[in-house]
């Protein structure tokens, strides 16, 4: 980040930061529908009772929760939104139960709820398996999160909205003091706590455990994490972890960290120092706090006890040591708000996928490409969405050569050799070798996430590289510049199609084994290997079939097009007047199956 961006970020007001963050996630839903809350079960323990609750965050988008209510003392009580981290069983994790029960015993109402894709809110439930097809937490979040990016939103908006509606639910309870409601969570729950600090101004205090760090150290270390933790354009807009706290100031905020966490401790310390200086600058010294313990990632007892003391001080006015007494957690099934332990097999529910699929269906007929009359307007729109750098033009020798040429991307060596034997000059732009992913994430996902944070995409970089290579190939003294074809295979076909649309001199395009459209990805419940071709917000502007008008009347062949899961697809989105769909039988060489496409370029002119 440049010094100018850092300076600009420093002078942003809290309201400006909040608006900027909201824009990056596609805004929050504008519908505060009825909560339709119901208690489906209850039980009592010494000092507290638990109610199993379901409420609607959005119409039909159900949230499963447990409400812990003190049975000693007089209300209304201070309350805590208990946001769960990446436990498979969400709110029912034994670690989190320790926090919820301890808080209830200390006189807090706690509303602990499942995030999307965890606990009772598994979204990719398979009735035959009786569990998630993808595994709860990280994989479910990334799967739906990639689809959200295509519609110009983020899965984070659904996490945030759940928290806002959970706050609304607490306001319906007479046991709760509406002026003393905090949020507390660890890991993914620490993420949600930081987000709600920024987006929910009614909160009185916030505790974020094992999340707060700094992007500089996170990028140098484990890299980007879950989809809800990656706002597209976040770094480009001059934002960092400190901004979640700055928006919340001067209200009390506690950072608790593990010295040996994968969220780098150096970043946490630096962010606290920056937050401390900010609070002092607005005459609120001591209202941001930091607790560090020498252990690994997790809401361990020392960090939980630091949270209790912080909440006691800021919501009760009691500043004293807060020890966690021994306790027994509940069996997961006792905390179910559903009969089966899953909404999917009990009452049903909308999911992030289904909500985003419906959103894609609404915005798709309104995408900007449909209203543009001139080809250059569409090309400008494509370049803008891909945030593409200018491509240096290469001068060519005179007179032009006589050989046809093919620019390939992702094409196997055997096909390239086949083309050369047939008389073509071939230049290959192989997909960039991605570094291995860290922390269980794929290399493609983390490489793409790094680009998204900067307001870019892997596709945009690949298109720029292809256009540069195309210019160099046309400048080759042996090449006839009017007979240069483009051939992309697999995910590389997406960048090849965009490059062909932006370069009107290309003689023809072949896409082999390439997904038919970004819209198709949003409509498919499952997908595989698509992180590298995700362009945030692209469906607001255009889709791959829209580019046909920029390529026609040049030949466009689709060989064995695929669905988002990699199965064979019927590309109904493409106008057949300009597009030819072909099958490549196993073992057939390129010059056999694509001979008509190639033959048009072979004769000398």
Preceding omega of 315 cis (within 30 degrees of 0): no
Mapping DSSP onto H, E and C, the string for 490-543 reads CCHHHHHHHHHHHCCCCCEEEEECCECCHHHHHHCCCCCCCHHHCCCCHHHCCC
More confident residue, 242 or 1: 242
Cβ–Cβ under 8 Å, residues 252 and 286: no
Rounded to 5 degrees, φ, ψ at 315 are: -110, -20
Cβ–Cβ under 8 Å, residues 170 and 146: no
Summarize pLDDT for 412-422 with one digit per residue, the tens: 999 999 999 99
User: What is residue 137's predicted lDDT score, i.e. its pLDDT?
Assistant: 86
CA distance 239 to 215: 9
Task: Report residue 297's pLDDT band, with 50, 70 and 90 as the boundaries.
Answer: very high
Q: Of the ranges 126-135, 407-416, 530-539, which one carries the lowest mean pLDDT score?
A: 126-135
Summarize pLDDT for 64-109 with one digit per residue, the tens: 999 999 999 998 999 999 999 999 999 999 999 999 999 999 999 9
Task: Report residue 604's pLDDT band, with 50, 70 and 90 as the boundaries.
Answer: very low
Summarize pLDDT for 127-174 with one digit per residue, the tens: 989 888 888 889 999 999 999 999 999 999 999 999 999 999 999 999
Could you tell me the CA-to-CA distances from 6 to 25, 45, 238, 273 in Å, in that order?
21, 51, 6, 16
- 254: closest CA among 313, 205, 220, 217? 205
134 CB-contact burial (10 Å; exposed 0-12 / middle 13-18 / buried 19+): buried
- Kindly state the greatest CA–CA separation across the chain: 94
Cβ–Cβ under 8 Å, residues 150 and 538: yes
Q: What single-letter DSSP state applies at residue 432?
A: P
Q: Of the ranges 368-382, 428-442, 559-573, which one carries the lowest mean pLDDT score?
A: 428-442
The mean of the pLDDT values for the chain is 93
Exposure string (b/e) for 170-209, b if CB count within 10 Å is 16 or more? beebeebeeebbbbbbbbbbbbbbbbbbbbbeebbbbbbb
Strand order in the sheet with 579-582: 425-428, 403-409, 479-489, 508-512, 556-559, 579-582
Summarize pLDDT for 488-530 with one digit per residue, the tens: 999 999 999 999 999 999 999 999 999 999 999 999 999 999 9
- 517: closest CA among 368, 390, 370, 360? 360
Antiparallel, parallel or unpaired: β 131-132 and 125-126? antiparallel
* Structural domains of the chain, ranges and CATH numbers in brackets: 3-320+332-359 (3.40.50.1820), 367-599 (3.40.50.1820)
């Amino acid at each position: 980040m440049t010094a100018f961006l850092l300076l600009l970020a420093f002078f942003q007001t809290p309201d400006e930061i909040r608006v900027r963050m909201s824009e990056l996630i596609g805004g929050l839903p504008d519908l505060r529908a009825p909560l339709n809350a119901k208690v489906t079960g209850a039980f009592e323990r010494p000092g507290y009772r638990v109610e199993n609750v379901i409420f609607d965050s959005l119409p039909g988008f159900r949230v499963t929760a447990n409400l812990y209510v003190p049975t000693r003392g007089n209300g209304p009580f201070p309350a805590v939104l208990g946001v769960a981290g990446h436990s498979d069983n969400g709110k029912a994790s034994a670690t989190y139960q320790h926090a919820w029960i301890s808080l209830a015993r200390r006189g807090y109402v706690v509303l602990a709820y499942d995030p999307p894709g965890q606990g009772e809110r598994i979204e990719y439930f398979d009735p035959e398996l009786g569990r998630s097809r993808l595994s709860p937490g990280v994989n479910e979040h990334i799967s739906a999160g990639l689809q959200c990016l295509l519609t110009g939103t983020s899965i984070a908006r659904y996490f945030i909205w759940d928290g806002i509606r959970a706050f609304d639910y607490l306001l319906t309870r007479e046991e709760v003091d509406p002026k003393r409601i905090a949020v507390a969570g660890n890991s993914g729950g620490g993420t949600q706590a930081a987000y709600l600090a920024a987006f929910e101004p009614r909160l009185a205090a916030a505790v974020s455990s094992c999340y707060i760090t700094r992007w500089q150290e996170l990028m140098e270390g484990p890299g980007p994490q879950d989809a809800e933790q990656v706002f597209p354009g976040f770094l480009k807009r001059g934002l960092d972890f400190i901004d979640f706290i700055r928006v919340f100031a001067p209200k009390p905020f506690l950072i608790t960290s593990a010295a040996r966490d994968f969220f780098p401790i150096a970043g946490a310390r630096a962010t606290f120092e920056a937050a401390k200086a900010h609070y002092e600058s607005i005459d609120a010294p001591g209202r941001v706090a930091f607790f560090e313990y020498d252990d690994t990632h997790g809401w361990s007892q020392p960090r939980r006890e630091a949270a209790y003391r912080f909440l006691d001080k800021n919501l009760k006015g009691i500043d004293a040591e807060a020890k966690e007494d021994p306790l027994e957690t509940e069996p997961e099934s006792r905390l179910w708000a559903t009969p089966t332990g899953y909404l999917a097999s009990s009452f049903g529910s909308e999911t992030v996928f289904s909500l985003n699929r419906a959103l894609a269906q609404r915005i798709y007929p309104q995408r900007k490409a449909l209203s543009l009359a001139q080809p250059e307007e569409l090309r400008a729109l494509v370049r803008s969405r891909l945030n593409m750098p200018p491509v240096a033009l290469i001068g060519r020798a005179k007179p032009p050569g006589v050989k046809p040429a093919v620019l390939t991307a992702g094409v196997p060596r055997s096909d390239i050799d086949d083309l050369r034997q047939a008389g073509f000059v071939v230049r290959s732009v192989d997909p960039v070798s991605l570094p291995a992913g860290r922390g269980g994430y794929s290399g493609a996902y983390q490489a793409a996430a790094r680009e998204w944070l900067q307001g870019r995409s892997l596709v945009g970089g690949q298109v720029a590289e292809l256009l540069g290579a195309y210019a160099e190939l046309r400048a080759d003294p042996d090449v006839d510049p009017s007979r240069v074809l483009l051939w992309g295979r697999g995910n590389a076909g997406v960048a090849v199609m965009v490059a062909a649309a932006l370069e009107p001199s290309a003689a023809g395009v072949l896409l082999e084994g390439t997904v038919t459209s970004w819209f198709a990805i949003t409509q498919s419940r499952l997908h595989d290997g698509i992180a590298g071709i995700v362009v945030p917000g692209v469906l607001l502007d255009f889709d791959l079939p829209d580019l046909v008008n920029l390529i026609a009347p040049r030949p466009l062949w689709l060989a064995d097009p695929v669905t988002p899961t990699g199965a064979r697809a019927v590309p109904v989105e493409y106008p057949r007047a300009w597009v030819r769909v072909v099958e490549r039988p196993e073992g057939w060489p390129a010059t056999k199956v694509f001979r008509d496409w190639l033959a048009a370029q072979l004769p000398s002119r």
